[in-house]
Amino acid sequence: MKNTFGNSVSLTIFGESHGEFIGAVIDGLAPGITVDENFISSQLALRRPYGKTGTKRIEADAFKTVSGVFQGKTTGTPVCILIPNENTRSSDYSLSAYIPRPGHADFTANKKYHGFEDYRGGGHFSGRITAALTAAGAIAISALRNKGILIGTHIARCAKINDRKFKNLEEDIALVNSLRFAALDEDKGKKMQDAIKQAAKEGDSVGGILETAVTGLPAGLGEPWFDSVESLLSHALFSIPAVKGIQFSNAFSKIDLPGSKYNDPFILNSGRVETATNNNAGINGGITNGMPIIFECAVKPTPSIFREQKSVDLMQMKETELKIEGRHDPAVIHRARVVVDSVTALVICDLLAQRFGTDYLGE
């Protein structure tokens, strides 16, 4: 029952959706990294629901850093962040104790923890826990930015509506990081939001695809085989609730290309070795080659919908119909984008610390 990820820089998350607190412990961070509480707050705001595109459960996320930070800098000891849960309505989940919601972890949690799990709001499996990931990731994002490494994610597809692709990466990363709804094409972004609102009216939900770019990475990060960059990123990203698929640089759509077109020829650019194309998403043999890392995450439609669905009463062991109550998102993809950035940043911090030593991330 492990809730820790990472080697040189590790993250532990804890808490439940309706418990008193959720939180994160980051261990292995170099001393001297700036902890900007305003930036952490702004990142948490990007994850927070708003308007008719999100749940009416809106938490203030009044986080508190209780260890590992002194005078605005990391001390080198474990950083612990606590976030209180204040806007809970546990009575909405009384049925979940014995009638599992389709698409949720209610049934598997019951089997895993023998009925002792906290089922309220999904308990430890809730997307609420991603607030802790986001707070921790904000520190990692800041540390990477000081090293010239930038991360940005946009909503590449939602409700069958496609955003434009990344073009000028650094400009586009700056753009999406300034937007609450991270679509590169403003028109397409409005259509996506309209589709999410329509799904809400119909008591349904929608999903989509997030595309992430990472620039400024040095060549040589990662290990061959089991700790490849793709392996570690995929491992961590699949831990985000609702992520059901990952591909690097549109691999599935490009896989029919012959090797002569799929390979990335090496070139010299102002004395620096680069590749003319980036079909391998900045990674060869599991190791970064210095080009941008590009990947996509498939985010499933939110499983909490206001339609009657089939389930099983685990107490009476008979089939039944379930119509859930409560406050739920018609889509989470626009909120998940900052969580993907956060998890990506934490993995990269770990890779850099393994390659160059834990002090590398210090200022």
Residues 262-321 pLDDT 10s: 999 999 999 999 999 999 999 999 999 999 999 999 999 998 888 889 999 998 999 999
Would you state the pLDDT for residue 54?
A: 73
| Whether pLDDT at 1 is above 60 | no
Q: What is the pLDDT of residue 267?
A: 97
| Confidence category of residue 56, pLDDT binned at 50, 70, 90 | low
The pLDDT of residue 90 is 64
**Closest CA relative to residue 98, chosen from 109, 90, 87, 88:** 109
- pLDDT in the model for residue 92: 65
Lowest model confidence (mean pLDDT) among 20-29, 78-87, 120-129, 150-159: 120-129
Q: pLDDT, tens digit, for every residue of 122-137?
A: 889 988 999 999 999 9
| 95 has a pLDDT exceeding 60 | yes
Angle between helices 333-356 and 229-237 (to 10 degrees): 140
In tens, the pLDDT along 234-265 reads 999 999 999 999 999 988 989 899 999 999 99
Only one residue has tokens 């329509």, namely: 198
Q: Where are the domains of the chain?
A: 4-358
- Mean pLDDT confidence for 8-25: 94
Bridge partners of 27, per DSSP, are 10
Section 157-171 average pLDDT: 97
Q: Which of 27-36, 72-81, 121-130 has the lowest mean pLDDT?
A: 121-130
The C-alpha atoms of residue 249 and residue 265 are separated, in whole angstroms, by: 16
Q: What is the DSSP-derived secondary structure letter of residue 92?
A: G
The pLDDT-based confidence of 327 (bands split at 50, 70, 90) is low
CATH of domain 4-358: 3.60.150.10
Share of the chain above pLDDT 70, in %: 96
- Mean local confidence (pLDDT), 12-38: 95
CA 183 – CA 293 distance, rounded (Å): 19
pLDDT digits (tens, 9 = 90+) for 334-357: 999 999 999 999 999 999 999 999
Contacts of 232 (CB under 8 A, 6+ apart): 222, 347, 350, 351
Q: Which two tokens stand for residue 180?
A: 């609450």
Compute CA distances 108 → 91, 99, 119, 234, 307, whole Å.
21, 12, 11, 22, 22
pLDDT of residue 3: 92
What integer pLDDT is reported at residue 38 of this predicted model?
Answer: 97
Mean pLDDT of 207-221: 98
State which amino acid sits at residue 142. Answer: S
For residue 251, count other CB atoms closer than 10 A to its CB. 16
At 50 the pLDDT is 82
pLDDT value at position 59? Answer: 78
The whole-number pLDDT of residue 220 equals 97
Distance (Å, rounded) from C-alpha 101 to C-alpha 327?
14
